[in-house]
Amino acid sequence: MDPVHDLHLHSTASDGSLSPAALVRAAHGQGVTALALTDHDTTAGLAEAADAARELGIRFIPGVELSASWERKTLHVVGLNIAPNTPVLREGLARHAAERARRAQLIARRLASAGLPGLLEQARTYGAGMVTRAHFARALCDLGHVKTPADAFRRYLGRGKPAHVSGRWAGLAEAVGWIRAAGGVAVLAHPLRYKLTRSWLQRLLLAFKAAGGGALEIVGGNSTPQEIRTLTGHALRQGLAGSVGSDYHGPEMAWSRPGRLLPLPAAVTPVWALW
């Protein structure tokens, strides 16, 4: 049997709600036999996940999801099959950790100015890992200020809203460079989520390829067959491989499950052929 891949998953090391070991067990329970943990700007969960995968006899690919800036937009670049202790990557992640701490303080200050104090303290109760906007969204829910995390983004945390703070992330080429320095493959995550026109997306893919990017995430948890066809065309034109990943964050997102993914079209080189 071919392995069942899911190469984009989150744990409590960033904004997922399962611990790395519990996440690996959940993915295994859904039939996944090769998985990557890709927490936002941190590799802190990889060792625990690798141990859990070894116990279950499934393939583990060390990963990370880097935030990156390009043309004043924030993009996500997944690094797969990375060596997490590489100095260049570690230094980059330390920089992003400091930036996340700075940004979290500012977000909390903006929320306090809007009459909502104590959100950073609440956000920190969800784990010792990286604080993301998803933590603030959950905190806003738990303190009864909004009904759902999506509402928190609509009212406070999204672009143009009162508590939105742009992150000062590494540039796209720099982020790709950290992944390559660590021996990994750089994958442009969820390419259709950036609300780019077709010509902007083509510009992005050219820049990504020129920077050393290796693959496009072609199949995501909610991908439609039409979206998969569109991205397959882009990957073939740019000479990029294809990746698959659910972007699962935990069981409270009832619509998403690890491993529940449409197949990667046979025309594209699967990213796992590169390792």
Based on CB atoms, which residue is closest to ligand AMP, 6 or 265? 6
The answer to whether 15 contacts Mn ion (rule: CB under 5 A) is yes
Shortest Å distance, C-beta 265 to ligand AMP: 26
Cα(243)–Cα(234) distance, integer angstroms: 13
For Mn ion, which stretch binds (CB under 5 A), given 54-62, 102-110, 175-183, 242-250? 242-250
CB-CB neighbours of 37 under 10 Å: 32
* 3-class SS of residue 35: strand
Cα(62)–Cα(241) distance, integer angstroms: 18
Based on CB atoms, which residue is closest to ligand AMP, 106 or 150? 150
Shortest Å distance, C-beta 104 to ligand AMP: 8
Based on CB atoms, which residue is closest to Mn ion, 114 or 125? 125
Q: Which two tokens stand for residue 198?
A: 């077709």
CB-CB neighbours of 225 under 10 Å: 9
Contact flags string 39-78 toward Mn ion, x per CB under 5 A: --------------------------x----------x--
Q: CB of 106 within 8 A of CB of 196?
A: no
Closest to 67 (Cα-Cα) out of 221, 172, 150: 172
C-alpha triplet 104, 86, 217: angle, nearest 5°: 65
From ligand AMP, Mn ion, none, interface partner of 177 (C-beta below 5 to 8 A by class)? none
Binding site for ligand AMP (CB under 6 A): 15, 40, 67, 132-134, 137, 149-150, 153, 249
Shortest Å distance, C-beta 58 to ligand AMP: 24
From Mn ion, ligand AMP, none, interface partner of 6 (C-beta below 5 to 8 A by class)? none
